[in-house]
Amino acid sequence: MSNPRCPICGHATTELVIAAPDFRLGRVTPRYPVWACPHCGAGVTATTLWDDAARAAAYEGDYEPHRLISQPAQGWRGRLAATIRASWGYPQDDALPLPGFLVRPLRWMRSWTWMPPPPPPGRLLDVGCGSGAYGASLIRLGWQVDGVEPDPQAAALARAQGLRVQNVPIEAAELPPNAYHVITMWHVLEHVSSPVAVLRRLRPALREDGLLWVEVPNRASWGARCLGPTWYHWDLPRHRVHFAPHSLKLALEQGGFRVLSIQHIPNPHGLAHGLAYRLHRASWGRHPLFQAMGWGFGLTAALFHGADVIRAVGVPIP
């Protein structure tokens, strides 16, 4: 397939960035090309076929977001988790009486992998909710959580954890107007071929005082530059659009949102799994040594605004 047009700004993509196989599922062929837009910096996965059968095949097997279950921590870990939740404003009877200078860095580190919306609890839509782990953790904090998830097995798990789930693609979901205090998309926007259209569809469902949280991989990261085609977060062919900070901001603005912030989030997997792919030992990506290396690299990259993951917070444009 020739280089496609950018789905964010509409310009022609001109640079072939990589062509890589599906490392996650261990398939050495075919190789999927990613073309870059010179105008907004987005990357676009170009494939000759992306129908329902191809999509189902791409997500088959042990796809982690479709099988996670939220289980409350117990013992001292549970009390520490309660302490962090209390620091976000949620009353927790078993919170530890720790001083603020200890709690603040713990809360900051916890926010890299899990973060609740600001209280008080309201109604939240988790788009691409997977098996419902994030939504279930918010239900325990008093939130009413709806989900949209196209995979039937994942949707069933999410319903079992208490979410009200529509088992359809987001493009086909029924979204009541002005219904949600918060809409979240955790590593979802990169999976759709028309991200601006999806954001425009979500905009009427969010209250005028609501928040939109979007987290995606950062193709302009240190990890992507160092690892090239073996960078874990290309995740081809599942990731259709590959964002950089500017292209994510532009997509949200064209979707009807004003961006309050774009944060760089430390993440170990880009380096850990990328090195494992390069060594042809995919299972090594979970090894503690590789994960430790990944955290060190990820934290350093985030401090210098080169993280593998970026998180945007937006509000509706009136």
Domain contains 162: yes
What token pair was written down for 36?
């870059």
- Which 3 state secondary structure label does DSSP give 196? helix
Q: Provide, rounded to the nearest whole percent, the portion of the chain with pLDDT above 70.
A: 98
pTM: 0.94
Question: Which structural domain range is residue 159 located in?
Answer: 58-189
Residue 68 has pLDDT above 80, yes or no: no
* Number of structural domains found in the chain: 1
Residue 245 has pLDDT above 80, yes or no: yes
Q: How far apart are CA 181 and CA 176, in angstroms?
A: 12
What pLDDT is recorded for position 48?
A: 60
- The stretch 104-132 carries a mean pLDDT of 96
Instruction: State CA 151 to chain mean position distance.
Output: 16
What pLDDT is recorded for position 101?
A: 92
Please, where are the H alpha helices in the chain?
52-58, 75-87, 100-110, 133-139, 152-160, 195-202, 222-227, 245-254, 269-278, 288-303
Domain contains 72: yes
In order, the DSSP letters of 272-313 are HHHHHHHTT-GGGGGSHHHHHHHHHHHHHHHHTT--SEEEEE
Domain contains 173: yes
Domain contains 237: no
Count CA within 13 A, CB hemisphere, residue 98.
20
Residue 63 has pLDDT above 90, yes or no: no
Q: Which has more pLDDT, 186 or 74? A: 186
Rg (CA), the chain: 19
Q: What is the DSSP letter of 31?
A: E
pLDDT in tens, 89-102: 999 999 999 999 99
Q: How far apart are CA 4 and CA 19, in angstroms?
A: 14
Provide the CATH number for the domain around residue 164. Answer: 3.40.50
Q: Which has more pLDDT, 240 or 49? A: 240
pLDDT in tens, 206-216: 999 999 999 99
Residue 178 has pLDDT above 60, yes or no: yes
- Are 236 and 34 within 8 A, CB to CB? yes
Domain contains 36: no
pLDDT in tens, 143-157: 999 999 999 999 999
Residue 71 has pLDDT above 60, yes or no: yes
Closest residue by Cα to residue 313 from 228, 206, 239? 206
Edge-first strand order for the sheet with 43-45 is 15-22, 27-36, 43-45, 241-242
pLDDT in tens, 10-38: 999 999 999 999 999 888 888 999 999 99
What pLDDT is recorded for position 49?
A: 57
pLDDT in tens, 109-120: 999 999 999 999
- Which 3 state secondary structure label does DSSP give 174? coil
- Are 154 and 131 within 8 A, CB to CB? yes
Q: How far apart are CA 151 and CA 153, in angstroms?
A: 6
Amino acid, single-letter form, for residue 306: G
What token pair was written down for 136?
């279930």
Residues listed for the chain = 318
Domain contains 268: no
Computed over every residue of the chain, the mean pLDDT equals: 94
Count CA within 13 A, CB hemisphere, residue 225.
8
pLDDT in tens, 254-282: 999 999 999 999 999 999 999 999 999 99
Q: What is the DSSP letter of 64?
A: G
Domain contains 41: no
Q: How far apart are CA 233 and CA 309, in angstroms?
A: 9
Q: How far apart are CA 153 and CA 173, in angstroms?
A: 17
pLDDT in tens, 305-315: 999 999 999 99
What pLDDT is recorded for position 54?
A: 76
Q: How far apart are CA 91 and CA 49, in angstroms?
A: 50
What pLDDT is recorded for position 4?
A: 87
Residue 52 has pLDDT above 90, yes or no: no
Domain contains 314: no
In order, the DSSP letters of 106-128 are HHHHHTTT--PPPSSP-EEEEET
